[in-house]
Amino acid sequence: MTDLTHDLADRLTRYCAIDSQSDADSPSSPSTEVQLDMQRLLVAELTAMGAEDVTLTEYGAVLATIPGTRAGPTVGFLAHVDTAPQFNATGVKPRIIRGYNGGAITYPDDPALSLTPEAFPYLAEKLGHDIVTASGLTLLGADDKAGVAILMTAAERLLADPSLPRPRLRLAFTPDEEIGRGVDARLPGDLGADFAYTFDGGKLGEIEYETFSADGAVVTIKGVSIHPGYATGKLVNAIHLAAKIIQTLPQVTLTPETTEGREGFIHATDMDGGSSEMRIKFILRDFEREGLEEKGALLRQVCAAVAATEPRADITCTITPQYRNMRYWLESDMTPVELARESARALGLDPVSVPIRGGTDGSRLTEMGIPCPNLFTGMQNIHGPLEWISVQDMEVAMRLCLEIAGRAAKG
């Protein structure tokens, strides 16, 4: 390992070992107290390296300034500290496979798991790289602690070397991105950037300026509860009605596992309750506003149709906006995208822009007035036990951050 890759690997493994999972069911901000363990650590490290204006906001974001050495726009760099709630993130044991030999990677805590280049071709391109994974029982958390490690390493180098050209830079480390609550209404004003970038992407060269548009939906089914021994003609079982709703929705189209590319979907994420009352959570996704509205209308129609079969039940469908495709705003001014592309080419990369079948904090920031494309980190197989990342990919992402800063200083 070089000194740089050693620093990146050290930061990543230290950060990933800290539980900072978010919780969509929590009303607090941030949604979990454990995220503040990460944030307080970042405050201490930023302060120690000499960053200015280091702040932990009341909504759980860490902000800091790297003073500029040249004139230019104020540029923001962001990453999120929370890890996805879809899989176990407690007790993460990161490990480094140094000088990857091209074979299958096995997992000490789950021998049945195997990460192979045949199943994941991008891994085959990383021969000789240092690969970081978890131990088999948890996700790794490179989403997005890789982004955190990349920005913290870049910040340390910039602050240690005043000769490196950059305009005023603003760092932001946000909580709750994974549950769609990473951008508090106060963040754009507190960040104070002319434009920004999230480091929350995948393969080398990916510079993303198009995301899903997203809504969340909650369907509540209230039946009629009565002792089952005396239920004839009286009981209305909410579980049965919930099952009808799921069964009536498209099964071979419009689900995540049956769609790809620019196709959107309706995804049932959670179902809980009992015979008297059930709740189903959905996420609705589409790249266009019209498509998103159509999916919401379809969900409402299905709920209404099932409700019509049992007038004694009460079925409600509440749809809440989450974020919108950042393309709607960025396509009118591609300056930050082109700056990132020029910087990537300067590093010998061939920049690629593909629609993200998901969203980032940049989606909300862009909608709220700070253009914010998303840049690669190298993370792969996120939200599950086969998550992995190349430390050498992280190094390239860190150099991209420095290159963008330098080019922004040149105007």
Residues annotated catalytic, as ranges: 82, 177
Residue 286, phi-psi category: left (phi > 0), alpha (psi -120 to 50), beta (remainder): beta
How far is it, in rounded angstroms, from Cα 262 to Cα 229?
51
How far is it, in rounded angstroms, from Cα 108 to Cα 114?
10
Q: Are 389 and 142 within 8 A, CB to CB? A: yes
Q: How far is CA 65 from the centre of its chain?
A: 23
Residue 143 marked as a ligand binder: yes
Burial class (CB in 10 A: 0-12, 13-18, 19+), 302: buried
Read off the tokens for 310. 């049992």
In the sheet with 75-80, reading across from the earlier edge strand, the strands are 52-56, 62-66, 169-174, 75-80, 195-201, 374-376, 207-208
Read off the tokens for 138. 């948890």
Alpha carbons within 13 angstroms on the beta-carbon side of residue 184 total 22
How far is it, in rounded angstroms, from Cα 399 to Cα 232?
70
Residue 178 marked as a ligand binder: yes
Residue 240 marked as a ligand binder: no
Residue-by-residue DSSP string for 354-370? --BSS--HHHHHHHTT-
Read off the tokens for 205. 């060269």
How far is it, in rounded angstroms, from Cα 263 to Cα 284?
11
How far is it, in rounded angstroms, from Cα 390 to Cα 94?
13
Using alpha carbons, select from 270, 272, 289, 291 the residue that is nearest to residue 281: 270
Beta strand pairing call for 277-286 and 213-222: antiparallel
How far is it, in rounded angstroms, from Cα 101 to Cα 129?
8
Residue 110 marked as a ligand binder: no
How far is it, in rounded angstroms, from Cα 119 to Cα 393?
20
Residue 6 marked as a ligand binder: no
- The binding site for Zn(2+) consists of 80, 143, 178, 200, 383
- The binding site consists of 80, 143, 178, 200, 383
